[in-house]
A and B are shown apart, each in its own frame.
Chain A
Amino acid sequence: MAGEVAYELAKKQREISVAEFFERNKHILGFGNPTRAIVTAVKEAVDNSLDACEDAGILPDIIVEVRRGERENELMMIVEDNGPGIVEKQIPPIFGKLLYGSRFHSIRQSRGQQGIGISAVVLYGQLSTGKHARIISKIGPDRPAYLFEIGIDTHRNSPEIIRKDIINWDKEHGTRIEIYLVGDYSRGRKYLYEYLQNTSIVNPHARIEFIEPNGERHVFERVADELPKPTVELKKPHPHGIEMGTLLKMLKETKTKKLLNFLKNEFISMGERTSMAVCEKASLDPDMNPKELTREQAMRLLNAFKEVKIMAPPTDCLSPIGELLIKRSLKHETREISPEFIVATTRSPSVYSGHPFQVEAGIVYGGKLDRESPVKILRFANRVPLLYQQGECVTTIALSNIDWRRYGLEQRGGKGIPVGPAIFFIHVASTHVPFTSESKEAIADIPEIENEVKLALRECARKMQQHISKKEKRKKTKEKFLLITKILPEIARKSASMLNKPVPNIDSVVTKIMDVVWIDDHIEYERVKRIQKSLDEFSSREEHGCITKIRITVVNYKRRPLKFDLYAVKPSEAIVGFVNPKPVKITDKYIKWSLPTIQPTEKFEIYFELAGLKEGDFDENELYVEGIKPEYVIGANKWEGE
């Protein structure tokens, strides 16, 4: 009896086609409803385009267009890129076969991981509209452009080529896909726009054009002219945070004969000395056969990993966006909000379960942002925006576990998502992002990641606080400045005119009122044709660069002459050009001047230029003083050393 059931089941099992598999799992894959479907479809296509462009070293130019189809709720999605194109032979399997991909087995930061992506979109389109996908691809200016119409044979999970032609396509290289699918544009639009905007934020090197069904065009401009550093594939795990199960498996499968070699060869960041130290800590013989480790000994090894200082994993497998570019991107995409300030930070890489990861965070504050609403959270994993399941994501959890009341935001009970005029940006980059599910919408709550996210957010919060307090101080002194430069002279003039007397000299009253050294700065940008890459190397391409011109004014409003040193912090990316007066020191991080003696009410000016930055990258001076009581000075803080 039981056996018969098994046979029955087996029959059914054989009949499960990819169509059925898809039908059963479509919610996990992101096609659960027509609103999600259009967003997922665009997302899969755009992620592929970005990955392809980066692999080929091309600055991505992507056009996303949505058109209305013939039937109700039928849409046509068009995604066109300037990527390297796909060789003719590969086109059918890439678009017509599920689980066909090249990234599945590599330890490396990339957008797509499972290879379920674009073919699932083709399948969804086919199942929902009965129409086939159209693919055009060209791999070089002197090569033909191929046009394919592809369907999926759902029984055999194999591509069905409906049409194949060579056509004339004026693009030098690239891929264009057109897929009909059932989707709810009116509801999906908001998410789609958000996805594209957010994608543009984390991919400052990409230009994305979005054309809506009504013909409306939105362009998300490129704000960085350099591709992210190419990531290097990592073949081995890092010992930090590796799980017991994985370790046991590795011990069992290793070809090494000695524990020491096992540690040195099967892990990254493990040299001779570190490996010895681990063995010693675990009280294990470095010469013993790794296959013979008992469970208890493996546990000791695992604990030793935590106790011995092991070098961080190499960072070249990760591609963080970087502080400067995050700020620049956020600034560009929030320009309509005109925020008060933007801060960003990139943490050093860290490791969980042997996987390197790196967290970046940013805060956009003030401007037209609503003060009464919960803060907005922009979440990203490997440069891909995460739009759904916010509550389950480690980024949200970490954010909710910080007491934001200390940083001037409202938060009931010091827990949960705070309320205030802020946008939070969190990016987790990893060779393996631990998503909570296949739809890749939330990152699992891994303690190591949560901790790093918290540290990154706190760092931003501190910067935010510094900024606010500096701003308040400046505002107060700006008021005093107004007082002595405008109001007081006017009082003197008026009182004199009422009495028909000469206007009295007010200098001495001015120093009495101010009683500080006032440091003010002014930043200007000048567009130039070529970008300076270093002191004597100019960019060969015709580009539009910018010179940041900084003028610092020091006025002594104390009643006695003063002499002190001034430091101006600069971004390490920036190259110092013309400087006047001559500084006593220029380093990667700052410029230092020894100012001459400044007499009461006397003014001293400093001017310098920075190259290698874009307009707006450097919009606020960080100034420090030495050799003078810091409380005498407004506009600069005490120099605490490097």
Chain B
Amino acid sequence: MSSREALMKLNEIALKVYTDLQNNEIPKITLPTRAKSNIVFDKKLNVWKYGESRKSRSAKTLDGAYMLLRTMYVAEFIKTMIEQNKSSTLRELYYISEGWDLAKFNSQQESDNLAEDLETITGCLREDFRLRPEEDGARIIGNIVIEEKTRSGEKRRIHCQDDVGDAGYSIPYNVEKEKIRFVKCDADFILAIETGGMFDRLVENGFDETHRAILVHLKGQPARSTRRIIKRMNKELKLPVFVFTDCDPWSYRIYASVAYGAIKTAHISEYLATPSAQFLGVTPSDIVNYELPTDKLTDEDVKALKSELTDPRFNTTFWKDEIKLQLKLGKKSEQQALAKYGLDYVTDVYLPEKLASFGILRK
């Protein structure tokens, strides 16, 4: 989207408020409800998007009025940035609001949310607004050559095995085509891993080389750029994606955000989600089949699992069965619990077995 378009969209918000006031109406803007109850599956795009339900921000209440005022301030701030060809991080936006008197944000959560609101209202991406996260990149290791345009404008090619250390290639916040290109790739699949410990284990055991895998560290709930680069590799390199996490309700949500899109960013699911990504494990069935060491589910865990049973994204036989099994077991486990059988067990036995079941590797 061009800067001019972004500016136009922002002006439209101001115009709506201004016109309301002129017509002696209480100013109000509406936007999709960003909640679990309002995500629907988009068959055309194959991802979960926001549904019809909308909420309004009206100046009738104090909170609504604050939001409107802040929206005005943020819109004006973005306008200035676009005009001056600058950009800022979300954190900087939060600190800049310190000088906004009444419109000041109380927490970065609020300003981050408002940035996302502006995306949903205008259909722009926050990159169009010159806002970026300070995402400390998740990492990639595998037989792939990436061409990245550096700060100085020079194009640098990086082989994600030979040109990087054990930590791997660090994913920048902008992974769009003007910044990153995939030059060459010789691998069979992408394995997205939740924890750093497991990522490092696979790297140490040379799993990327022995099993022709591209390893991506998700670093917990993955940042937009991590999801976007997985999506691009999946689409452009035609590599299947497998997600490997702990066995607890929070990890399932990590998978869901990779595969289906996150509830918070459902307005841009088609950019971020990889609908074909599969959940490799650790599954509740694995707890039983591999006799893994476990912890008891906490009250919060149980609540989260039950909430997932009503989450449309988990409305499949696979998930329903697994979640119900886990509730029955009352147990959860971790990726690293596999070390029970030795440090090489995960690379020699578990992953090959699981991948074989998806038809990727022969046993």
Is B one of A's binding partners? yes
Distance (whole angstroms) from the CB of A514 to the closest CB of chain B? 10
Contacts of A501 in B (CB 8 A): 18
Is the CB of B313 closer than 8 A to any CB of chain A?
no
Decide yes or no whether A288 CB sits under 8 A from chain B.
no
B76/A498 in contact, CB under 8 A:
yes
- Looking at the assembled complex, report how far the CB atom of A243 sits from the nearest CB atom of chain B, in whole angstroms: 61
Interface membership of chain B positions 2-24, coded 1 if the CB is closer than 8 angstroms to chain A and 0 otherwise: 00000000110011011001101
CB contacts (< 8 Å) of A494 on chain B: these are: 14, 69, 72-73, 76
Which residues on the B side are within 8 Å of A498 (C-beta)?
A: 10-11, 14, 72, 75-76, 79
- Complexed CA–CA distance, A479 and B62 (Å): 6
How far is B29's CA from A495's CA once the two chains are assembled, in angstroms? 13
B47 to chain A, nearest CB (A): 34
Cβ B11 vs Cβ A491 within 8 A: no
Q: Report which of B11, B60, B102 forms a contact with A490, defined as CB distance below 8 A.
A: B102
- The answer to whether B21 touches A480, judged by C-beta atoms less than 8 angstroms apart, is no
Q: B59: which of A479, A483, A497 is its contact (CB, 8 Å)?
A: A483
Interface centre among A488, A494, A495 (most CB of B within 10 A): A495
Q: How many angstroms from the CA of A494 to the CA of B76 in the assembled complex?
A: 8
Contact status of A487 and B69, CB under 8 A, knowing A479-B62, A499-B11: yes
- The reply to whether A504 and B18 form a contact with Cβ atoms under 8 Å apart is yes
Instruction: Specify which chain A residues have a CB less than 8 angstroms from the CB of B66 in the assembled complex.
Output: 487
Q: How many residues of A contact B (CB 8 A)?
A: 23
List B contacts of A487 (CB < 8 A). Answer: 59, 62, 65-66, 69, 102
Which of A486, A492, A494, A497 has most chain B Cβ within 10 Å?
A494
Would B65 and A491 count as touching, CB distance under 8 A? Answer: yes
Tell me, rounded to whole Å, the shortest Cβ–Cβ distance linking A371 to chain B.
23
Q: Is the CB of A509 within 8 A of B65?
A: no
Q: A483-B59, A488-B59, A491-B59 are in contact. Are A506 and B72 (CB under 8 A)?
A: no
Most buried by B among A480, A504, A508: A504
Do A512 and B26 touch across chains, with their CB atoms under 8 A apart? yes
- In the complex the two chains form, what is the Cα distance from A479 to B65 in whole Å? 11
- Interface contact A490-B26, CB-CB below 8 Å: no
Chain A, 172-194, CB within 8 A of any chain B CB: none
Q: What is the bound-complex CA distance between A513 and B60, given in angstroms?
A: 5
- How many positions in chain B have a CB within 8 Å of any CB in the partner chain? 27
**B103 within 8 A of partner (CB):** yes
Q: Convert A475-493 into 0s and 1s, putting 1 for each residue whose CB lies closer than 8 angstroms to a CB of B.
A: 0000110110011101110
Contact in complex: B59, A513 (CB < 8 Å): yes
* Pair B69/A504 contact, Cβ less than 8 Å: no
Assembled-state Cα–Cα distance A501/B27 (Å): 17
Bound-complex Cα distance A358 to B25 (A): 60
Contact A509 B27, CB 8 Å, known A483-B59, A494-B69: yes
Choice from A479, A486, A513 contacting B26 with Cβ under 8 Å: A513
B102 to chain A, nearest CB (A): 6
Complex-state Cα separation, A410 to B258, whole angstroms: 47
CB distance from B334 to the nearest CB of A (A): 38
- Chain B residues within 8 Å of A490, by CB: 69, 72, 102-103
B39 within 8 A of A: no
- Which of B62, B75, B102 has the most CB atoms of chain A within a 10 A radius of its CB? B62
- Check A504 against B59 for contact (C-beta < 8 Å): no
Question: Which chain B residues (64-78) contact chain A, with CB distance < 8 Å?
Answer: 65-66, 68-69, 72-73, 75-76
Task: Assess whether A509 is in contact with B21, with CB atoms less than 8 Å apart.
Answer: yes
A495-B14, A498-B11 known; A512 and B68 CB under 8 Å? no
Partner of B102, one of A486, A496, A497, A504: A486
In the complex, A502→B152 CA distance in Å?
A: 44
Interface string of B75-103 (1 = CB under 8 A from A): 11001000000000000000000000011
Q: Which residue of A lies closest to B27 (CB)?
A: A491
Partner of A509, one of B26, B73, B75, B103: B26
Q: Please, which residue of chain B has its CB at the minimum distance from the CB of A482?
A: B62
- Provide the residues of chain B in CB contact with A492, threshold 8 Å: 18, 21
A493 shortest CB reach to chain B, Å: 9
B73: chain A residues at CB < 8 Å are 494
| Chain B positions within 8 Å of A482 at CB level | 62
In the bound complex, residues from chain B placing their C-beta under 8 Å from that of A496 are 18
Across-interface contacts of B24 in A (CB, < 8 A): 508-509, 512
Chain B residue with minimal CB distance to A481?
B62
- How does the 8 Å CB contact mask read for A508-529 relative to B, with 1 for contact and 0 for none? 1100110000000000000000
A495 touches B59 (CB 8 A): no
Q: B199-237 CB contact bits vs A (8 Å, 1 = yes)?
A: 000000000000000000000000000000000000000
Q: Report the Cα distance A492→B79, complex, angstroms.
A: 18
Which of A483, A497, A506 touches B21 (beta carbons < 8 Å)? Answer: A506
Q: Which of B26-62 contact A (CB under 8 A)?
A: 26-27, 59-62
Please, which residues of chain B bring their CB within 8 A of the CB of A497? 76
Return B320 CB to nearest CB of chain A, in Å.
43
- B293 CB to nearest chain A CB (Å): 40
Give the one of A479, A488, A490, A491 with max B CB within 10 A.
A491
Closest to A515 in B: B60
Other contacts beyond A487-B66, A490-B103: 10, CB < 8 A: A487-B59, A495-B18, A495-B72, A498-B11, A498-B14, A498-B72, A498-B76, A504-B22, A506-B21, A508-B24
Question: Taking beta carbons and an 8 Å cutoff, which residues of A are in contact with B?
Answer: 479-480, 482-483, 486-488, 490-492, 494-499, 501, 504, 506, 508-509, 512-513
8 A-B pairs (CB sep. < 8 Å)? A487-B65, A488-B65, A495-B14, A498-B10, A504-B22, A509-B27, A512-B24, A513-B26
